[in-house]
Amino acid sequence: MLSAVVAATMEHLRREAAIGPVPAAAEASDAITAGYAVAADLIGAEIDEVAFVESGNRALAALIQSAALQSGDHVLVDRTSWGGTLHMLSSYPGVFVDVMPVDHHGRVDGDAAKAQAHSATKLGVLTWCPATGAIFNPAEAVGLLAQDLGAFYIVGACQVAGQRPKPSPRWRVLASPSAVPAKPMRRWTWMHGV
């Protein structure tokens, strides 16, 4: 982690210890507001479309919970889905997790995924750029599939954000109003010193 990030975090913790968490948060409100603006700019979103939570795991859990999965529902995932994501999904009784097929490069094959997608698919979870390989999954094609299915769509963008050129509206995966790019900002701030 960059020393500037460590210093800012430590200074905030010192202020919390000295004056309490609520006054320290009030003092930091301009910096927090700026953080929302930076995050929104990064992913091509509006500021009110950004949420900060305590961890990437908690963010993912909240997004999955918001899909309100029921027994009999199907979830599309890519084959590089994080084990924690699969564990969260396995906690929903009667929910089926369907792994999307890949092409000869190891990327999700959008056409094949569409052909095998179950009509009861309520959620799609895509790792846009897995940490374990040098591929970019077709986020927009999977978003279009999610839209066709009427499914909520989560795009894991941890490895993509900060690695691509300046965001464009395509980062929002315009296929669906329910598309949500998810990433832990701490990783991005570590990489870029914001």
pLDDT of residue 180: 55
What's the Cα-to-Cα distance from 120 to each of 38, 50, 163, 189, rounded to whole Å? 37, 29, 34, 38
CA distance 132 to 53: 25
Find, among 117, 51, 131, 118, the residue nearest to 83 by Cα: 131
In the chain, % of residues over pLDDT 70: 80
pLDDT exceeds 50 at position 176? no
CA distance 144 to 135: 19
What are 121-173's pLDDT values in tens digits? 999 999 888 877 778 888 888 988 998 999 999 887 776 665 655 445 444 44
